[in-house]
């Protein structure tokens, strides 16, 4: 069980959070788009810290789970907490894939593939615009102002 409140944002909170998104962030997070490969701001990020949902701030991945997949998108082999992501069968584009969305707000993050490294052998292939990054010595974001676990360091 997650130590974070996974209750979805209220309609008012969601409206406020969405108003702060750029056009590209809207296209990816809300309309299940994909950013072009090799252009995301987090592709080559080597800092220690936590990758969070760009919309609601839920921690999704630790930098310690990041690896270079060579695909052009930030890739991780394990989530921060399995309860923080939702896996959805995706049959778009004539293939069967597993879409990954934020368990709290439902924002599109990317897809999961079974070709990652041990120990999970998963590759969580994410769009940089779906993420925000918090350095290891900083507090996690709390855009929903829930306090508790969200208020402490990563």
**Residues designated as active site:** 125
DSSP string for residues in the chain: --SS--PPPPHHHHHHHHHT--HHHHHHHTT---PPTT--TTTT---SEEEEETTT--EEEEGGGEE--SSSS-EESS-S-GGGEEEEEE-GGGS-EEEEEETTT--EEEEEES---TTTT-EEEE-GGGEEEEETTSBPP-TT---GGGGSB-
């Amino acid at each position: 069980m997650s130590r974070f409140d996974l209750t979805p944002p209220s309609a008012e909170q969601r409206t406020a959070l969405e108003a702060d998104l750029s056009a590209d962030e809207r296209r990816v997070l809300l309309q299940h788009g994909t950013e072009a490969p090799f252009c995301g701001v987090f592709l080559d990020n080597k800092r220690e810290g936590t990758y969070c949902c760009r919309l609601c701030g839920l921690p999704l991945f630790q930098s310690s789970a990041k690896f270079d997949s060579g695909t052009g998108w930030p890739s991780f082999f394990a989530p921060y907490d399995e309860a923080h992501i939702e896996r959805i069968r995706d049959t778009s584009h004539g293939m069967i894939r597993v879409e990954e969305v934020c368990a709290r707000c439902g924002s599109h993050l990317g897809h999961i593939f079974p070709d990652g490294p041990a120990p999970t052998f998963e590759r969580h292939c994410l769009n940089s615009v779906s993420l925000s990054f918090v350095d290891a010595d900083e507090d996690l974001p709390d855009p929903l102002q829930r306090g508790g676990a969200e208020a402490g360091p990563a």
